[in-house]
Amino acid sequence: MIAFAANSLFARLALAGGAIDAAGYTGVRMASGAAFLALILWRRPGRAGGLPGSWRAAAALGVYAIGFSLAYLRLGVSLGALVLFTAVQVTMIAWSVIRGEHPGRVEIAGIVLALAGFVYLVSPGLVAPDPLGCALMVIAGVAWGVYSILGRGGADPVGQTAGNFIRIVPMALPLIVVSLIAGGMTAYGVVLALAAGVFASALGYILWYRALPGLAMTQAAIVQLSVPVIAALGAVIFLSETLTARLLIAGAVMLGGIALAILSRRRA
């Protein structure tokens, strides 16, 4: 979860100060993650033929990565992580309903509570966040939720992750070229994007998938709700971000609603 939170910190550090543009950051992050995961895949014993993963999952991963980078041009770390992971969980819960699961009253109340918190967060006012930035992060969160749904239950999650990252390289390389032509990269920005791609993304996903077998699905979902909290603490410590009352209230309502929905499903 620290690695996932670090993704938000690296993105804001790189993008807010102009160390790298969104195209370059996305391209370097995805390409470096793909290179690292390809090495892991190549060195694994008993490699089978063919590339794991799917183009659908790779497309969802690409939409997430682009939306994530563009959103952090406009949002702070705390807000971005909160919107992202709320959108992810709501997407996955909504998909289970579409698939025929019947939510109970408590679960519905939790979802409504989370959405009410989000409406409060983005409603007009002196301290309302950037609406376009929030919309981009919602798109990123929905895409990550779709990516998680497509990969759920796979026999080889690490291999699938590697295959999906490798498939995204044809999108990543043109983004890097466009950024280089536009002069949108600095050495510092590239280092941050590499750290996000190799450590916060690729290595973080590997660690997460190794931890998943020891967690129930409900526990895994609840654990992910710690990411916005970790990201917020990191933003205060490393980026001197201020946590507004509006963000704290909305965050408590949103995360509380999602937790209520998840826990009610466990009891059902």
Per-residue pLDDT tens digits for 196-249: 999 999 888 888 777 776 666 566 667 777 888 888 889 988 888 888 888 888
Does 267 score more than 60 pLDDT? no
Does 100 score more than 90 pLDDT? no
The helix, strand and coil proportions of the chain, stated in percent and rounded to the nearest 5, come to 80, 0, 20
Q: Residues, the chain, total?
A: 268
Tell me the pLDDT tens digit for each residue of 129-179. Answer: 889 999 999 999 999 989 888 877 667 778 888 999 999 999 999 999 999
Tokens describing residue 35: 């290179």
Residues 140 and 80: beta-carbon distance below 8 Å? no
In the predicted model, what is the mean pLDDT of the chain? 86
Q: How far is CA 266 from CA 2, 43, 62, 222, 259, in A?
A: 25, 38, 32, 11, 11
CA distance 23 to 15: 10
Q: Count the Cβ atoms, other than its own, within 10 Å of residue 233.
A: 14
Q: Is residue 185 classed as helix, strand or coil in its secondary structure? A: strand
Residue entry with tokens 């996932």: 4
Q: What is the residue range of 44's domain? A: 2-267
Query: Tell me, what's the pLDDT at 70?
Result: 96
How many domains, the chain?
1
Shortest CA distance to 141 belongs to which of 237, 38, 66? 66
Tokens describing residue 248: 């704290």
Task: Identify the band that residue 125 occupies on the pLDDT scale cut at 50, 70 and 90.
Answer: low
pTM to 2 decimal places = 0.86
